[in-house]
Structure 1
């Protein structure tokens, strides 16, 4: 395995694309687990999904109407509803039986005549079925879902690594599964640092409201973290952080604040005390430059995010999101680019990530205001984040787009 830190620049910030690659390569998928279908939403398949039965498992009526044998007219007898087993005796030529959508076709039936295409008449003790005036006679196999139309038993349905969606769960149930073997969603501990943070009310007395705790919990879950992801507030005390990290059993630990070089920035000190190996120590990106990624002695990753809210968001997209995909066995998102609606000034040497909204008419990415490191107003109105290369980009230039992942596990 290639050393994930091989691309880091000694003594300098890691280029933004390399930092993302290092994060992706720093983790491997968690061990597979087998869970009931209802508990697998948001995971990914850890092994291929194969059909356990034919779908449909018998010839089925695709419409309400009559199962008919031969060209007609047909002598009517009986009724078949979904869930009923037809008799073993074949439907004789010239006979028909009333049938509901989803009901098993009786042996000997050649087609289904839709309700709107037939007319019945009473003739003596028996009823007769005719094709309605102006309607075509049913062709053999018409409105019949033949056995195995969707798949045969043993057919490969989906590959390992496929995200488990409600539709996948429905397919698995239809194919005979009660449980699935999946890669679980990683558990994340978020440790929010800062004695200046308030838990409620407006900013006051020189202190500010904690925005990252409320932001990170739902966002990390949307990016693939498990529902048992937790957020804890810690005082600015390196011993408390040391104890919290050392006692954590989470698959990924994220800290916020304390990654720069200020008087209470001690994340580096704690990482060193724990014997962790720094893979990324600063990234050439704005905002969010003083972020870090370290591997604890047991191999679990720790991401240190800056304390400024938009800078922390950049850190999540740069380091935490690739790690969550790697741990959860998720594929990388398909990259795409969108033209800019207006020019954006760039940093001379660093990549910039800025919030953008997509123009309804042109589809272009419109840069939003309020995109300073401590601001969330632009991000709250954004559709995505645009990647601005060093030196900036002109109006009309195609720039890479990062979906923020609200409401998804992208």
Structure 2
């Protein structure tokens, strides 16, 4: 085992490994693109709206009033032009505005008497011009953008039936440990498995597609580890294991990876909690992410290794970190980067949480992410430090990615917490 690499190096290495292993883009019908990633810029095939469209129900009018009605135009119809002054046409919301229209009088502002229409149009135009939202050929989103329901709707309105995308990688979870129970109360040397039920949901939120794994923890033997890994790698692009990342008498992950001919990408990271984590690439290009068995350490390993790997595999950028002020002094963990569970208040300040040991989830469950403290650092109250957000909803882009105009900051292994970071 080599010396642990820095937290920043681990994230960068995993993102690059993912980019190298990304599969070719595919053309997918719009209805199947949710959760994928744009492989090319989304460019409009048409003006949006494609024609002048009424924003209200009312009367399209030309010339001075009173106006003589010349028919009606509904949404989906192509109307004749208004060619004569003093004429009008009843119009529905969304309908194409007749050529020659000078104003639209809202239905509630119009009066119909003796076969004539009178009324006052608002000073603001009550229709949308062609191309008002989007011009044909305009780039709407860059490659690497996640496809959400809103993006799907935008693509449809701009004329697309399919999109070229990178599909989410599939991911399986293998839980190691004879001491684990999958139901009932813990006790008498047995503990409840908290990772088997939760890691698939984290993977989904990070952009992967979970596939079903074993219903029970894998037995602590080399043979069972090999069989479980071999089976999972048949259906999953990424296999996340929990526990067994050390070299103790019940830890069989390292020998199993050697048997499978794996190439280590990361073997321990200088971060707390979560140091004994690993990542390996298998012949054929699939990946194993070895997460520690302690629950909070497993989560920090997911955010350190698996989040950037998934981003790389889907050709998304490595998530950048914004800075936030901390509400109280936060002490580092010696030569290790410290990921301190924290919640953000309404002013954007990070409050570190209690119950933060690697075996505990109580603090993380109340949090929004992790304050990132540099090796050897002590962060004073009010200082700005990097913040690693948790994806709290399925398909949600990490908070840092959504913060437009917020510059990326040096990762903590590149900048000391007592540097000249803005206060």
Q: Structure 1-normalised TM-score?
A: 0.90
**Bigger shift: residues 72-81 or 278-287:** 72-81
**Bigger shift: residues 263-272 or 237-246:** 237-246
SS at match of 1:218: helix
| Structure 2: gaps (5+ residues) | 399-423
The 5 Å alignment of 1:163-312 reads 163-228=146-211, 230=213, 233-247=217-231, 248-249=233-234, 250-312=236-298
Decide which of 333, 336, 361 is 2:322's aligned counterpart: 336
Shift of 1:268: 1.1
Contact 1:91 1:106 in 2 (8 A): no
Q: 1:222 to 1:39 in 2, by over 3 A?
A: same
Contact 1:27 1:301 in 2 (8 A): no
User: Could you give the per-residue CA deviations for residues 271-304 of structure 1, whole angstroms, max 9, x where no partner exists?
Assistant: 1121211121111111111111111122222111
Decide which of 3, 6, 11 is 1:12's aligned counterpart: 3
Runs of 4+ deviating beyond 6 Å: none
The 5 Å alignment of 1:1-400 reads 11-28=2-19, 29-87=22-80, 89-122=81-114, 127-132=115-120, 142-228=125-211, 230=213, 233-247=217-231, 248-249=233-234, 250-360=236-346, 362-391=347-376, 392-400=378-386
Cα distance in 2 between the residues matched to 1:156 and 1:288: 41
Return the index of the structure with the highest Cα Rg: 1
Cα distance in 1 between the residues matched to 2:212 and 2:135: 40
Aligned length: 390
Cα distance in 1 between the residues matched to 2:349 and 2:226: 46
SS at match of 1:283: coil
Contact 1:221 1:229 in 2 (8 A): no
User: Could you give the per-residue CA deviations for residues 37-63 of structure 1, whole angstroms, max 9, x where no partner exists?
Assistant: 122111111122222232222221122
Contact 1:67 1:96 in 2 (8 A): yes
Cα-Cα RMSD? 1.9
Contact 1:217 1:230 in 2 (8 A): no
**Bigger shift: residues 200-209 or 67-76:** 67-76
Contact 1:90 1:107 in 2 (8 A): yes
